[in-house]
Amino acid sequence: MITTTGLTKIYRSGRSRGHEITALDGVDLHVREGEVFGVVGRSGAGKSSLIRCVNLLERPTAGTVSVDGTDLTALAGRGRRAGKDLRRARSSIGMVFQHFNLLSSRTVQDNIELPLEILGHSGQERSRRALELLDLVGLTDKARVYPAQLSGGQKQRVGIARALAGKPKVLLSDEATSALDPETTRSILRLLRDINQQLGLTVLLITHEMEVVKTICDSAALMERGRITESGTVGDLLATPGSRLARELFPVDGAGNGPGGTVLDVTFHGDAATQPVISQLSRTYNIDISILGAAMDTVGGRQIGRMRIELPGTFEENVVPVGFLREQGLQVEIVNAAPQVAETVALTKEGTK
Amino acid sequence: MTWSEMQPLLTQGTLDTLYMVLWSALVTVVGGLPLGVLLVLTDKGGLLQNTAVNKVVGVIVNIGRSLPFIILLIALIPFTTFVVGTFIGPTAMIVPLAIGAIPFFARLVETAIREVDHGLVEAVQSMGGSLPTIVRKVLLPQALPSIVSGTTTTVIALIGYSAMAGAVGGEGLGSKAVTYGFQRFENGFMIATVVVLILIVTVIQLIGDLAVRLLTRRTRTA
């Protein structure tokens, strides 16, 4: 639905060529129809430039963007101003902003009608559609109110209603929940999820909150220094050994209970995750397992996520149980194994000195 | 000078002053508003970035702003004569008054529009809004309270200019004050004109403030 190839954006400050900032460095992104795709990264990683290049609010220095089969970069032409074709293409891409960007001079309803005014719909049709959308976002009673009288969450609901007014196929969300508290964030994410499912809308969102990706994204990409360093469905990312995105999405922590244990990180994904593996392990080998930390979610009846567990004894003693876990299709990483007895002695001596 | 002698002079002076000020204010708004918008749009990073146009308009506006009004008034006599047919009388004075106030008002409009959050412009761009849409539906409505308050300031400045215009062949309170209060040493009349001017300025300021308050009430939190 959204494809970028070799997308590059270089900002030049001043007239000299010395000050160049490469915000996007050859980004290839592919967002499939109907999915919620999240791009995560720190501030300054280029996320914002990326999403703004998708509807060409920002002109890419090089590369192409195509949305729903239309090459937007070709429509853009060479001038700074957006031509008619590009403007028409933009009206089928909704956008939601971190700071809502509602017009304070217009009522909620008039804000939602604005895109329809641009599309040239009649007054009657505009108000019918606006009321329909207010109902969708749960703000039917706020039609005649000005944005200043709304809470942050309500403002973002208006922002979402406005973005949907022109019946877009794609919704871009530029840190839509970053200015909201956790509770409101969850309700906005739930709304986005509902819209994605009800209307079959493709959503591309950028965020610095892992929680957002975990809550609603089907796929995610990690962005660093203007490049996409990891990308895939959440399941695929978990299945990738050493994926930093998976580790950050499902962070596990917790130290072992002292010497004499083996600490493992177990990643659950795919079919194996439907089995109660940990209790099977415990019963089969008659060992006590401590769960030190876990970040698990159940999506579509499957458990996905990561868990840190501790098995008694050295790694050598645990080769068989680890093999069992791997046989179940789980990914196992050894965090730290109990050191050999000799080493322990040496360390104790070192400590007493 | 008795009150019954003063009254017709003051009434006529006030009417002439208001006639000059209100018509020139109208011309100023019509001329200054697009100029202010043009200054913002053509500026660096603006939606119609055009350094040459921006520089030229900026220089013209600055020249207009730095000329003392009394000099502008005299320098414009040929132009005023060309437009109105005479350079004397309240109608003729509308020309220099408006030309003097347009640059001033244009700068006020420029400042007001610059204060509009760029995010709003982007939001409308993302909806596929064209430049005229952005100006009409975002920049002007969002800047309206500041523009109205700038208009009040401009009208009050025009009252001051109109008194000067009165000294150089115009009519109005300024000319009456010069003729009767100054040249005939009628101190009582001088004081009366000052009081009337204060009243006019106060009323205009009150109306302006009221309009701004009505416009911003909805944008503030309840």
Residue A26, token pair as written in the block: 């050859």
**Which CATH architecture group holds A250-342?**
2-Layer Sandwich (3.30)
- A66 and A72 in contact (C-beta within 8 Å)? yes
A340/A184 Cα distance (integer angstroms): 51
Domain boundaries, chain A: 2-244, 250-342
Span A98-114, pLDDT tens digits: 999 999 999 999 999 99
Residue B36, token pair as written in the block: 């202010």
B184/B176 Cα distance (integer angstroms): 11
Span A32-60, pLDDT tens digits: 999 999 999 888 888 999 999 999 998 89
- Preferred mutation among B126, B135, B212, B215 to probe A, highest tally of A CBs within 10 A: B126
B190/B109 Cα distance (integer angstroms): 35
Residue A347 confidence (pLDDT) above 50: no
pLDDT band at A257 (very low <50, low <70, confident <90, very high): low
Residue B22, token pair as written in the block: 């209100």
Residue B20 confidence (pLDDT) above 90: yes
- Summarize the confidence of residues A122-146 as an average pLDDT: 94
Question: Which residues of chain A does B130 touch, with a Cβ-Cβ cutoff of 8 Å?
Answer: 82, 87, 118
- Summarize the confidence of residues A64-73 as an average pLDDT: 90
Residue A352 confidence (pLDDT) above 50: no
Residue B173, token pair as written in the block: 């309170």
Q: What is the sign, positive or negative, of the torsion defined by CA atoms of B91, B95, B96, B101?
A: positive
Span B151-171, pLDDT tens digits: 999 999 999 999 888 877 778
- Summarize the confidence of residues A59-74 as an average pLDDT: 90
Q: Helix or strand or coil: residue A26?
A: strand
Q: How many CA atoms lie within 13 A of A81 on its CB side?
A: 14
- A158 and A147 in contact (C-beta within 8 Å)? yes
Measure in Å the smallest separation between the Cα of B113 and chain A Cα atoms. 14
Q: Give the highest mean pLDDT range of A176-180, B136-140, B186-190.
A: B136-140
Tell me the pLDDT of chain A averaged across its residues. 86
**DSSP code of residue A179:** T
Residue B184 confidence (pLDDT) above 90: no
The residue among A155, A174, A164 whose CA lies nearest residue A104 is A155
The answer to whether B131 contacts chain A (CB < 8 Å) is yes
| pLDDT score recorded for residue A343 | 43
- B46 and B134 in contact (C-beta within 8 Å)? no
Q: Helix or strand or coil: residue B88?
A: coil
CATH class name, domain B16-170: mainly alpha
Tell me the pLDDT of chain B averaged across its residues. 91
Q: Nearest residue on chain B to A86, judged by CA atoms?
A: B128
Question: Which residues of chain B does A119 touch, with a Cβ-Cβ cutoff of 8 Å?
Answer: 128
One-letter amino acid for residue A308 of the chain: R
pLDDT band at A279 (very low <50, low <70, confident <90, very high): confident
Q: Give the number of other CB atoms < 10 A from CB of residue A137.
A: 22
C-alpha to C-alpha distances, B168 to B43, B190, B201, nearest whole angstrom = 38, 18, 22
The residue among B219, B126, B133 whose CA lies nearest residue A165 is B126
CATH of A2-244, one of 3.40.50.300, 2.40.50.140, 3.30.160.270, 1.10.1060.10: 3.40.50.300
Domain boundaries, chain B: 16-170
| pLDDT score recorded for residue A299 | 64
Instruction: Name the more confident of B51 and A340.
Output: B51
**Residue count of chain B:** 222
